[in-house]
Amino acid sequence: MRLLLAPLSWLYALALLVRHRLYDWGILKSRSFSVPTICVGNLALGGTGKTPHTEYLIKLLKDKGKVAVLSRGYGRKTKGYIHADENTTYEQIGDEPLQYHLKFNDITVAVDEDRCDGVEKLMTLETSPEVILLDDAFQHRKIRPGFNILLTEYYNIYKKDMLVPAGKLRDVKCAADRADVIIVTKSPKVLLPYDKRDVINLINAKPYQKIFFTNIDFLGLKPVNALAKSMTLENMKSIYLFCGIANPYPLEDYLKRKYNTLITNYFSDHHCYSNDDIDNILSGYNSVIGKSKIIVTTEKDYMRLTNSSYLERFENVPLFTVPIEVNFNDSKEEETFKNLILNYVGKNS
């Protein structure tokens, strides 16, 4: 299939290369801003861990100044600039921005498909941000971030992939040259030196680029409704997992190692749930034999249920989420990364 689809990928690559050259030559204009702007993006279609890495940056920066996160708001049912407030819903800004907004009440979250327009509006706020995190803006050449972070998954390094439709890349590999930092995400927690060296050699970074390795840590099950909060998990035997994310298999592996029985129900990435979906989920959960069972989903999927009538339908089942966070494989490398970010923000504030 890859061979059959390769000609379409080549045509797509040609179109992308022309577009990039037009920006590189200044025929199409890119804008930079005086406020520090940090882009977190990837070359693939998803599953590299942009959300937990953006949250890592929020935690690093939020106590040192006013932080704003600007996203396109993938999956939302609105257009244009929207500033998140206490009444904001998933339909208005998308699941990932809503997650940032609800988890970090001391930052600003906004969405705009035009990142330049979004930055301009953020800068007109009464308390304008001192640093702006651009979530998933690596392909948005209209804006020129001050610092670019490119993510690539350990088990699917972009150098070994192809452009869609033959592969999972949405941009040409040479676009990685714009990155200041390349983070290899979802790495094994115990990374052997020669495996690390092989990845570094494969990426073959430019002299001005630094490579870091991170892994995902699952933080246990978090109860999100009254019934779940009343339960103890020590004797739990069965889990019914439903989610719509790009790569659910690390989560599946984590749960399999902790519980005897795992039943999964997967949907497409950023799936917008319907009544029929909820019927299907609850029916699947109720069909699990025994009473020592719970229902689990991801934080992002829970955002798509928040402030909706669908969430009420889970009142009679114990519903849990699985929070995650990013860890660097090497503590010294983590300090280097932190210093890079803090020095960039400090020098450009």
Higher pLDDT, 235 or 66: 66
The pLDDT value recorded for residue 236 is 87
Whole-number Cα distances in Å, 192 to 94, 115, 117, 187, 198:
38, 40, 45, 11, 10
Per-residue pLDDT tens for 156-201?
999 999 999 999 999 999 999 999 999 999 999 999 999 999 999 9
Q: What is the arithmetic mean of pLDDT over 148-162?
A: 96
Residue 118 above 90 pLDDT?
yes
The pLDDT value recorded for residue 235 is 82
Query: Dihedral of the CA atoms 14, 20, 22, 28 (nearest 10)?
Result: 130
Average pLDDT for the chain: 95
The side-by-side arrangement of strands in the sheet containing 222-223 is 222-223, 319-321, 293-297, 238-243, 261-266
CB of 83 within 8 A of CB of 70? no
Instruction: State what percent of residues in the chain have pLDDT above 90.
Output: 88
Q: What is the arithmetic mean of pLDDT over 250-264?
A: 92
Residue 290 above 90 pLDDT?
no
Q: Catalogue all structural domains in the chain, each as residue range(s) with its CATH number.
A: 2-217+328-348 (3.40.50.300), 222-322 (3.40.50)
